Amino acid sequence: MNLIEQSEDFVSNLLKDKLSNLYSYHNFNHTLTVVSAVKELCKKEEVSDDDKKALLTAAWFHDTGYIEGSENHEKESVKIAQEFLKENGESDDFINSVSNLILATVKDYVPKTHLEKIIKDADYAHLMGSEYFTTCELLRLELKNTGVVTFSNSEWTKENLNFLLNKHRFYTGYALRKWQPLKEKNLILIQKKINKQELKAATAIEEDNKKKEKLEKPDRGIDTLFRVTLGNHTRLSGIADSKANILLSVNAIIISIALSSIIPKLDSPKNAHLVIPTFIMLMSSVITIIFAILSTRPKVTSGFFTREDVEAKKVNLMFFGNFYKMPLHEYDWAMNEMMKDRDYLYATMIKDLYYLGLVLQRKYNLLRIAYNFFMVGIIITVIAFVIAFKSI
């Protein structure tokens, strides 16, 4: 078995037994890719057999240092390779050559010799492959799992674009002719991916803004609810006032007729039987008028509020009785403060509807009492007049 085959068996067993599963990129599969790329470059660059032996040995060992961690792994790889090569009786010159080639794979190192350029290009052969994006995701996962750095989708895509554009280049003539065009195809695909991500991000931002606007602006259903409810309250209040006016008008007419036609005749002894029915009629009318007036009588409020009331959200700015004595600039300030605060605005509208409901409840209760007095008074008055005429 020659040295290259021995190296393959040694590295395969070493990585299988000692390499952490966290290294999803720098593993045996990556080593195989680099070895294959070295073989292709050695053939195309017409490398001698001795140089090819050194390159392939370096390719097999270049990432074995990851069994000790990612930091300074190239130096650890050199130690492992040197120990292995000494055990296999290789010369010091060959061992030094392999060591230098392994160190040439350090990320920021600029290769100087032809062999260094070959192994450097081979180490980045995945950049031109059809599985480039899959390989990149394995590297991203490795960086995350080993606690080095975590990238978002957009950050990782931009990192790859920056690396291909500004931090990487091929050195050998064959790689520049054959691999560079394939790398540029992947570069175009990355740019398209970034454009797609930016479009998606812009769309997401636009949708978020629309959602925020929808939350910030009153919903049409809420608008309709307040408008319909306020309209109903206003109509019911108008109906209550109309009913009170009817009672006032009818009972005023009754009292006017009684005062002008009936009461002057009660001085006569022959009309004494009409005193009680007339008294009942007048009292029922007066009581009805009193309750009808109470139902329409406005409640007087102070007409003042303070800035502290507005800041504490205590004042209902939609009811004129709370601000009619305030200067315009104070009311303007208070309304603007309320409109800035969506919760305060809705709370005020709800409070306004609630107190309108209480006013309506009071009006209709008083009107019910007034109508009951009017109805019962009319009935008793009619009965009293019937009894009075029968007793003559």
Same domain, 202 and 252: no
Distances (CA, A) of 279 to 147, 383, 386: 101, 13, 14
The CATH number that applies at residue 79 is 1.10.1300.10
Phi, psi of 265 (to 5 degrees): -85, -10
Number of structural domains (the chain) is 2
- 3-state SS of 127-154? HHCCCHHHHHHHHHHHHHHCCCCCCCHH
pLDDT of 219 reads: 64
Nearest CA among 222, 6, 218, 36 for reference residue 119? 36
Give me the torsion for CA of 180, 181, 184, 186, rounded to 10°: -100
Tokens found for residue 230: 């306020």
Same domain, 53 and 183: yes
| CA 300 to chain centroid | 47
Low-confidence ranges of the chain (pLDDT < 70): 1, 212-219, 267, 300, 392
* Spatial distance between the Cα atoms of 198 and 190, rounded to a whole number of angstroms: 12
The answer to whether 9 and 31 are in contact (CB under 8 A) is: no
Same domain, 7 and 100: yes
Same domain, 261 and 176: no
Domain boundary among 213, 247, 263: 213
Nearest CA among 296, 305, 299 for reference residue 337? 305
Same domain, 333 and 194: no
Same domain, 171 and 253: no
DSSP assignment letter at 264: G
pLDDT of 274 reads: 76
Domain boundary among 164, 184, 213: 213
Same domain, 32 and 178: yes
pLDDT of 392 reads: 63
Q: Give residue 182's identity as a one-letter amino acid code.
A: L
Domain boundary among 166, 181, 213: 213
Same domain, 96 and 48: yes
Domain that holds residue 260: 220-390
DSSP 88-109: TT--HHHHHHHHHHHHTTSTTP
Helices (H), 217-300: 220-257, 275-296
pTM score, whole prediction: 0.56
Same domain, 277 and 160: no
Same domain, 227 and 167: no
* Residues near 41 by beta carbon (within 8 Å), at least 6 away in sequence: 47, 118, 121, 122, 172, 174, 175
Same domain, 164 and 268: no
pLDDT of 185 reads: 92
Same domain, 209 and 224: no
pLDDT of 240 reads: 86
Cβ count within 10 A of residue 76: 19
* Spatial distance between the Cα atoms of 141 and 20, rounded to a whole number of angstroms: 13
